[in-house]
C-alpha cells in the first residue's frame, strides 16, 4: 500500500494496527461471519490497544490522537474484517466525538473513561420511517421535570448488542418539527429500555445490528447531550464526520479484496502459466488499484481537512460516495479473478463483496451524497 501523505508517526501507528488486524483478527474472521457474533477477546484487545478511544483526550483516559489516526485504524482493520471496522468506526467517529464536542464536564467525566477502556458505544438515530429523511423520527421524549420518558422504536442500530451506552435521538417537542429533536445519553440499564431483535444480515455479520425498544424509558435530565431541541445539530455534525469513517472502512475493504485478487492471480495457473501473466487480468488489477488509490486520496483529504478545522462537508460526501462505489466494484472483480472458487465461502473476496453492499446505503445513501455535493457546488 502506498505511504500516501503519512509521516513517520502515522506510518508506525498504521503498521501497528495492520499487524494486529492480520495476526490477531485474521484467524477469527470466518468464524465470526458464520456465527454472526463479534469475538469478545478481540473486543478486549481493541480497548487494550487504545483503538476505541483514539481522539478522547488523555485526561479522560483516551489516546489524545487525531481524526486521521481514526481513519488509519478503521482502514487497516477493515482490510481484514470490515465488521470489526464498523465497531471501531462508530465508537470513534460518532459516539466519542459527539460526547467530546457536546457533553458537559460531568458527562465527559462519567462516560469518556469507560468508552476508552471497556464499554462500546452505539448511535441510535434511524427508525422504520426515518432513513434518508433522518429527522422524520417518531420517537418522543416527554419532559417530566427531572427526567424524560422516551417512547418509540429504533431500527438498524450498529453495535447495539454489545453497547453499554447509546447516543439516542428523540423528539421532545414534535410540534416544533426537527427543532424538537434532542440527543440523550441512554444506558441499557435504564428502566423501560430494551434491545430487541438482531438483524440477520447479508454482510458485516459480526457487527450487531438491532432494534431498540423504548417503553417509558426513564432518562435523567442530566443525560441530555447538548441542549433540548438541538439534537439535529448533534446529528448533522457527527454524521458528517462519520461519513469519512465509512469511507475509510470501504477503502480498507477494497484494499483487502485487491490483495486477495493479486495473490490468487499469481498462484492460479491456466494454459501453463499464472493468470497474472495475462493482459486481461493485469488490466483488471490495474483498474482496481487505480480506483482504490483515488478513493483513499479522497478519504485522506477529507480527514486532513477535518483535523485542520477547515470545511469538509463536500469532501466527506465525495469520499463516502466514491469509496462505496469503488469498494463494491473492486470486491466484485476480485471474485471474478478467483473464478469458480470466488463464489464459495472459502474465498475471502466473497465475504468482502457481501460486506461492501451496505456502503452505498448506510450513513447516507449514494444519492444523498450526490445531493450534498451538488448543493455545495451550486451554492
Q: Which of 101, 118, 135 is at the close of a domain?
A: 118
Question: pLDDT tens, 2-54?
Answer: 556 799 999 999 999 999 999 999 999 999 999 999 999 999 999 999 999 99
The DSSP secondary-structure symbol of 206 reads T
Q: 288 in a domain, yes or no?
A: yes
Question: pLDDT tens, 159-190?
Answer: 999 999 999 999 999 999 999 999 999 999 99
The domain that holds 90 is classified in CATH as 1.10.540.10
Find the domain containing 300 and state its range: 233-378
Residue 133's region, left for phi above 0, alpha for psi from -120 to 50, else beta, is: beta
**Is-contact 152 138, C-beta < 8 A?**
yes
Q: 215 in a domain, yes or no?
A: yes
Question: pLDDT tens, 131-140?
Answer: 888 889 999 9
What pTM, to 2 d.p., does this model score?
0.96
Q: Which of 61, 85, 118 is at the close of a domain?
A: 118
Nine cell digits for residue 176: 416544533
- Of the candidates 127, 211, 325, 363, the residue annotated as catalytic is 363
Residues 238 and 374 in one domain: yes
Q: 21 in a domain, yes or no?
A: yes
Q: Give the DSSP per-residue string, 337-370.
A: HHGGGGGSTT-HHHHHHHHHGGGGTTTS-HHHHH
**Is-contact 252 77, C-beta < 8 A?**
yes
For residue 5, the model assigns a pLDDT of 74
Residues 363 and 245 in one domain: yes
Residues 181 and 134 in one domain: yes
Residues 290 and 328 in one domain: yes
3-state secondary structure 64-121: CCCHHHHHHHHHHHHHHCHHHHHHHHHHHHHHHHHHHHHCCHHHHHHHHHHHHHCCEE
| Averaged pLDDT for residues 293-319 | 97
- Say how far apart CA 364 and CA 379 lie, in whole Å: 20
Residues 137 and 113 in one domain: no
Q: Give how many domains the chain has, as a whole number.
A: 3
What is the rounded average pLDDT for all residues in the chain?
A: 96
Q: 31 in a domain, yes or no?
A: yes
For residue 1, the model assigns a pLDDT of 46
Nine cell digits for residue 361: 446505503
Q: Which of 118, 134, 158 is at the close of a domain?
A: 118
Bridge partner residues of 122 (DSSP)? 166
Residues 101 and 202 in one domain: no
Instruction: Please indicate whether residue 2 or residue 323 has the higher confidence score (pLDDT).
Output: 323
**Is-contact 138 129, C-beta < 8 A?**
yes
Q: 1 in a domain, yes or no?
A: no
Residues 81 and 166 in one domain: no
The domain that holds 173 is classified in CATH as 2.40.110.10
Residues 252 and 139 in one domain: no
Helix (H, G, I), strand (E, B) or coil at 61: coil
Does 363 qualify as catalytic in the annotation?
yes
Residues 69 and 150 in one domain: no
Amino acid at each position: 500500500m502506498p505511504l500516501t501523505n503519512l509521516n513517520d508517526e502515522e506510518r508506525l501507528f498504521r503498521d501497528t494496527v495492520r499487524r494486529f488486524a492480520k495476526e490477531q483478527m485474521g484467524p477469527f474472521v470466518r468464524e465470526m461471519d458464520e456465527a454472526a457474533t463479534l469475538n469478545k477477546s478481540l473486543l478486549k484487545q481493541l480497548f487494550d490497544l487504545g483503538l476505541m478511544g483514539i481522539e478522547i483526550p488523555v485526561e479522560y483516559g483516551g489516546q489524545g490522537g487525531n481524526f486521521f489516526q481514526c481513519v488509519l485504524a478503521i482502514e487497516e482493520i477493515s482490510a481484514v474484517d470490515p465488521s470489526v471496522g464498523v465497531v471501531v468506526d462508530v465508537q470513534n467517529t460518532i459516539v466519542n466525538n459527539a460526547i467530546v464536542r457536546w457533553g458537559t464536564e460531568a458527562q465527559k467525566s462519567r462516560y469518556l473513561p469507560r468508552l476508552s477502556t471497556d464499554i462500546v458505544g452505539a448511535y441510535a438515530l434511524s427508525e422504520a420511517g426515518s432513513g434518508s429523511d433522518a429527522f422524520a423520527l417518531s420517537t418522543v421524549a416527554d419532559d417530566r421535570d427531572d427526567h424524560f420518558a422516551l417512547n418509540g422504536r429504533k431500527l438498524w442500530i450498529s453495535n447495539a448488542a454489545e453497547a453499554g451506552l447509546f447516543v439516542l435521538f428523540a423528539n421532545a417537542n414534535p410540534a416544533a418539527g426537527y427543532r424538537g429533536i434532542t440527543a440523550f445519553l441512554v444506558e441499557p440499564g435504564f428502566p423501560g429500555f430494551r434491545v430487541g431483535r438482531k438483524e440477520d444480515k447479508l454482510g458485516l455479520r459480526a457487527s450487531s445490528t438491532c432494534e431498540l425498544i423504548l417503553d417509558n424509558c426513564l432518562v435523567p435530565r442530566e443525560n441530555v447531550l447538548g441542549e433540548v431541541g438541538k439534537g439535529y445539530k448533534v446529528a448533522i455534525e457527527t454524521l458528517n464526520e462519520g461519513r469519512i469513517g465509512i469511507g475509510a472502512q470501504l477503502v480498507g475493504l477494497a484494499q483487502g479484496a485487491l490483495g486477495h485478487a493479486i495473490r490468487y492471480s499469481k498462484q492460479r495457473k491456466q494454459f501453463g502459466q499464472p493468470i497474472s501473466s495475462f493482459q486481461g487480468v493485469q488490466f483488471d488489477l490495474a483498474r482496481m488499484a487505480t480506483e482504490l488509490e483515488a478513493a483513499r486520496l479522497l478519504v485522506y483529504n477529507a480527514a486532513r481537512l477535518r483535523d485542520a478545522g477547515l470545511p469538509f462537508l463536500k469532501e466527506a460526501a465525495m469520499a463516502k460516495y466514491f469509496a462505496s462505489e469503488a469498494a463494491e466494484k473492486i470486491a466484485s472483480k476480485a471474485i471474478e479473478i478467483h473464478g469458480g472458487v470466488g463464489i464459495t465461502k472459502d474465498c475471502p473476496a466473497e465475504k468482502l463483496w457481501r460486506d461492501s453492499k451496505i456502503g452505498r446505503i448506510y450513513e447516507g445513501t449514494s444519492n444523498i451524497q450526490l445531493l450534498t455535493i451538488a448543493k455545495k457546488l451550486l451554492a
